[in-house]
Amino acid sequence: MRIITFHHNHSSNKGGIEFLIKHLKRVAARIEVSFTEVFHDAPKNSTLLRDEIKLSNNRSRHRLSKIQENIILYNFFSKVKVSEPTVFFCFSPKYLLFIPKVFKNKVKIIVVQANKISLVCRTLGKLGIKKNLEYIDAYTVYTEYDKEELLNYFPELDGKISVIPRGCRIETATRPREMSKKLVTIARIHEKQKNFSGMLKAFELLPEGFSLDIYGDGDKNEISELLERIGHTKNVCFKGPTSDVSETLSDYSIFLMTSKYEGFGQTLIEARSQGLPVVVFDSFEALPWIIEHEYNGFIVPYNEYKLFSDAIEILSNDKIVYNTFSSNALEMASQTEQSYVTELWISLLKEVFDEK
């Protein structure tokens, strides 16, 4: 068996899909099959492995560049020789519009959810599914909520959808956290999605004694704008990227997320795995599967800043409540441990190739 993946970015980039590609590489090594990663973009000075194929050097965001990239994508896969059972992982159904039929006829195709279903099923994504229903052998989603929503768009996919959550990047902690007023978030620095301004509004409603540290990386202009925002708020600090998430989270007690939308919420399962209760705006479908309201965190109606700050205070003022939430977080972390998710991927690959 051979596995081929295509995603616009190389797996050395930071992000949930990039981490998933790394995970799939480990799955391939576990079952001893070859793995080829195909992509357009990689960080500068990246060292590529033998089976990592970069299609272009085009970093332009103009419409023409996207057309050029899609032509390059089509031409590349029209020349790929398929001489053994091959599964093709595609992280957006829109890309199936630019994969030649000669290739699709020879492989098994697994489409992997990379964003919330309502975003995936916009014009090109919806067209990609509609035009390729006969080629899609499996479609993986993060939760049962996502499965139900996808079936609302495409009941024809019934029987092909598998629920496979993202695996957590870090080992589950062995004991609950200690209560404190140290708050943290880890996120890509991108205001339009992550809504740091909303987080600051909620933080400013807290009494004295709380601190908030923001970790992440992003465009230098986005970082400059964030630094300007937090410069007006006492006890808020931007820490830059972290290379050791579990070590970083060990210094804090509560994890915050104020995103306008998410695909899955990778950082939430990481916080959960370390026993951190979470306070989060209700802004994406997978959220209730990761955070159970008033069990391991608080899900707050979007942009209800006072309710958000009230939830933080509840977790910071009662040790019994805090310890219960922290223990519950660790209990739920088993759902996304890498070993468990790996077995789900292996089972799906066997199912796609009708192996018992």
CATH number reported for the structural domain that contains residue 35 in this entry: 3.40.50.2000
- Asked if 289 and 317 sit in the same domain, the reply is yes
- Asked if 221 and 325 sit in the same domain, the reply is yes
Q: Write the pLDDT tens digit of every residue in 182-233.
A: 999 999 999 999 999 999 999 999 999 999 999 999 999 999 999 999 998 9
Domain count, the chain: 2
Distance, CA of 294 to CA of 291 (rounded, Å): 9
Give me the domain span that covers residue 306: 182-336
Distances (CA, A) of 334 to 7, 176, 337, 339: 28, 14, 5, 9
Predicted TM-score (pTM) of the model is 0.81
Asked whether residue 176 is domain-assigned, the answer is no
DSSP of 235-300: TEEEEE--S-HHHHHTT-SEEEE--S--SS-HHHHHHHHTT--EEEES-STTHHHH--BTTTEEEE
Asked whether residue 304 is domain-assigned, the answer is yes
Residue 356's pLDDT is 43
- Asked if 149 and 190 sit in the same domain, the reply is no
- Asked if 76 and 144 sit in the same domain, the reply is yes
Q: Write the pLDDT tens digit of every residue in 300-324.
A: 999 999 999 999 999 999 999 999 9
Asked whether residue 177 is domain-assigned, the answer is no
- Asked if 321 and 342 sit in the same domain, the reply is no
Encode burial over 59-95: b for 16+ CB neighbours within 10 A, e otherwise. eeeeeeeeeebbeebeebbeebeeeeebbbbbbbbbb
Phi then psi for 221, rounded to 5 degrees?
-70, -40
- Asked if 314 and 301 sit in the same domain, the reply is yes
